[in-house]
């Protein structure tokens, strides 16, 4: 693991950590937003194949096109991943109001969520870095002084292990996720030739504004990904692709929750997690103006996201597992991206 200077944000130095194993897999993570900026593997003719959306310079995350589209490439999302209905929730008899930055709802922690914070980092192993952050009581409208950490580890068997920890001095909603977008073709094509499998038979049903409010439904034919299906075939039956929240068994076990294959290249991604749900998003609304400095083109259907987390709108859904963190019950979560080629 090496550390590089990556620029400055509001006078604060941003570091980039480069993790690499003996197989040649490389992961880059910056302290701005605890963001994975790159996941690459060896390719032909000594060229690297990039599998994730992101930029090789800090400026890419501050371009007008990126800020206007707000795709959250690779970042750590918090305090609460996904949407909260109308930016409101009631906790211990008190109503709290949050920014409605995804009108009319609250999205991904608000105006200045964890993705827009400078995290403190320390090396905790040969190929492992821990990033930590403190969030003050009522920051972005959330109660409680919160301390969180995210540990990223690249293993010798090509797994990116992401371990989340959090503690608070007051009951508060907390749901962290990583927002990496993948394209296993190395951005040579769209994701339409990818095969997708998600180990779930239940969807959280969104309302007209795109936020779940408590109703659950069995997967239908187009939503049922318990056996691998080609995304391009499914897109023909969908107006804007997937932005579906799948419920998972809330048993606390780290297990395979999704698998993605690109048959042409032989590359595969397995997602393991102990979270009770995941949002599968296929990038319909990603701007075609965005691309990496090496020319990798992003945009509509050019990458997918598999965001493992607590339930979207969990603070407003009775019985949603683990949506509230308390002083007596700290936050803990693990997600693994296992890549093979």
- Separation between Cα atoms, residue 75 and residue 72, nearest integer Å: 6
Instruction: Identify the active-site residue in 106, 108, 179, 262.
Output: 179
Examine the residue annotation and report whether 179 is marked as an active-site residue of this protein. yes
Q: Residue 335 forms beta bridges with which residues?
A: 162, 273
Q: Are 238 and 222 in contact (CB under 8 A)?
A: yes
Examine the residue annotation and report whether 106 is marked as an active-site residue of this protein. no
Nearest to 265 by CA among 43, 18, 15: 43
Q: What is the distance in angstroms between the CA of the first residue and the CA of the last residue of the chain? A: 22
- Separation between Cα atoms, residue 192 and residue 262, nearest integer Å: 10
Q: Are 216 and 247 in contact (CB under 8 A)?
A: yes
Nearest to 303 by CA among 277, 285, 321, 330: 285
Tell how far CA 13 is from the center of its chain: 24
| CB atoms closer than 10 angstroms to residue 196 | 21
Instruction: Identify the active-site residue in 139, 161, 275, 307.
Output: 307
Which tokens belong to 73?
């490439």
Residues noted as catalytic:
179, 307
């Amino acid at each position: 693991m090496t550390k590089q200077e990556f620029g400055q944000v509001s006078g604060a130095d941003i570091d980039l950590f480069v993790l690499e194993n003996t197989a040649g897999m490389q992961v880059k993570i910056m302290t701005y937003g605890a963001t994975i900026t790159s996941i690459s593997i060896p390719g032909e003719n000594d060229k690297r194949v990039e599998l994730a959306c992101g930029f090789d310079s800090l400026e890419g995350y501050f371009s007008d096109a990126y800020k206007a589209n707000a795709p959250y490439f690779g970042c750590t999302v918090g305090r609460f991943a996904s949407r909260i209905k109308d930016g409101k929730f009631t906790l211990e008899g008190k109503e709290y109001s949050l920014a409605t930055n995804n009108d009319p709802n609250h999205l991904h922690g608000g105006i200045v969520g964890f993705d827009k914070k400078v995290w403190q980092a320390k090396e905790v192993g040969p190929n492992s870095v821990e990033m930590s952050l403190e969030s003050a009581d009522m920051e972005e409208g959330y109660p409680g002084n919160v301390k969180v950490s995210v540990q990223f580890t690249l293993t010798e068997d090509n797994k990116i292990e992401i371990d989340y920890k959090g503690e608070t001095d007051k009951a508060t909603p907390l749901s962290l996720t990583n927002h990496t977008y993948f394209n296993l073709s190395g951005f040579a094509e769209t994701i339409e030739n990818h095969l997708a499998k998600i180990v779930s038979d239940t969807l959280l049903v969104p309302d007209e504004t795109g936020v779940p409010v408590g109703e659950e439904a069995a997967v239908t034919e187009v939503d049922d990904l318990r056996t691998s299906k080609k995304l391009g075939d499914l897109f023909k039956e969908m107006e804007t692709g997937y932005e579906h929240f799948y419920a998972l068994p809330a048993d606390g076990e780290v297990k395979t929750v999704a698998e993605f294959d690109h048959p042409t290249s032989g590359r595969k991604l397995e997602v393991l997690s102990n979270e009770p749900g995941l949002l599968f998003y296929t990038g319909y609304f990603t701007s075609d103006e965005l691309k990496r400095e090496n020319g990798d083109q992003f945009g509509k259907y050019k990458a997918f996201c598999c965001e493992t987390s607590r339930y979207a709108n969990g603070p407003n859904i009775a019985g949603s597992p683990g949506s509230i963190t308390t002083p007596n019950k700290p936050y803990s979560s693990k997600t693994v991206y296992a890549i093979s080629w």
